[in-house]
Amino acid sequence: MNELDFMKLAELFADKPLIIYLAIFFFTFVLEDVATASAALLSSYGHVMPELAYVSLLAGIVLGDLGLYGLGYGASHFKWAKRLLERKKVTLVNKWLNKREVIAVLGARFIPGARLPTYTAMGFFRLSFTKFMITVFFASVVWTSLLFGIIYTVGEVFVDELHSWRWPMAAFMIILVLLLPRLIEHIVSKRTKL
């Protein structure tokens, strides 16, 4: 399901906003950035209330991140995992993450593909859940507010000014939102190599 399919599906349920809010919540577990863009566009098109779409979105994102921590924590209880924890390289990773827990959470939030291994490892190493939860919430609020706000604001322009061009432009904006973090990561990695 892509973002345009999600938007069409939401239009079908326009008279049942609770279903749309639940779809936004659960879609964050599949494609978080697409769910964010779709929720913002649905809000700007007037299909849902922006405040409730944002809360549904944020709740799904935070719960998904906490779930990754939980997966790692659960995996650490297996016998094979306990043996793995005794390896020297794993111990070094554990110490590194322990010293940089907040920075690692924030970095993983903004680097595509980094949340799964980072957040799961934090649970696996049983790092402070309270610190993890607070940092995840803070990082999610910042990132989600930024994306949602930009797309919501631009979405209003789509509705008011672009009429028949709104769907192609919406698709372009969503693609841009999905690719922009990867482009930034690429630029940063090139600079750090210099």
Render pLDDT for 23-76 as a digit per residue (tens, 0 to 9).
899 999 988 888 888 899 888 878 889 999 999 999 999 999 999 999 999 998
Determine the pLDDT at residue 106: 86
Angle at 69 (CA atoms; ends 180, 65), nearest 5 degrees: 40
The rounded distance, in Å, linking the Cα atoms of 112 and 185 is 8
Considering only residues 77 and 5, tell me which one the structure prediction assigns the higher pLDDT. Answer: 77
pTM over 0.85: no
Condensed to tens digits (0 to 9), the pLDDT of residues 159-191 reads 556 556 656 766 676 676 667 667 766 776 666
